[in-house]
Structure 1
Amino acid sequence: MNELTEFEQANLPLITGYVALKKTIDEYSAQKKKLENELKEQMEKYDVKSIDNSVLKATLVAGSESKSVDLKKFKKNEPDEYLALMVDYPKKTVRKPSLRITVKK
């Protein structure tokens, strides 16, 4: 028996518990999204900008637009200038180790 098989067998309850919980969360997330959309539509219909009562506070936020620089396109079209930017304005981002999980349907 290899280490992976041993790990899977030893942690099968943990794995199946995670999968079951993920499916439940996905179902509740879909229901939440549906209710949020319905509430938003009703607020727009009645021209209510915000509501604040004993159980809920909701604010209808207007749409907006923002602009940013497409660095991938800039790097492709202007490689020399991109390299100069990276030399003059470097930014280091450190990411903590994490676990990426994909539940197969």
Structure 2
Amino acid sequence: MRHAQPRRRAGLVPAPAPEPGPVPGPVPGPGPVPVPVPVPAPAPAPVPGPGARPRRPVRPPAAPPTAALPQRPWPPPPQQLRSGSDRSAAPACRGRWRHPSTQ
């Protein structure tokens, strides 16, 4: 039994090109008109009943900062040696450091 069209092997015979025609595109004319959506008004706050718990009081605004205390410079300024004789007052750096309470 033969088919209405002969079978073609893939890659051997090119397929027939489609006939040129009008390219489908956007239909000219006015588009859909946007419908304004009504925004619901905010609901009023419910009125508390006679047995309702009292609401927390609103925190008062923070007080403006008071005058700042004078700050000491940090790190502290290096101590200037007055003379070479003051070096003897420094502890001797011999061996490993030990805590003063264990000496």
TMscore range, shorter length:
under 0.3
Structure of larger gyration radius: 2
Higher relative contact order (CA 8 A, sep 6+): 1
Q: TM-score, normalised by structure 1?
A: 0.17
Which has the larger strand fraction? 1
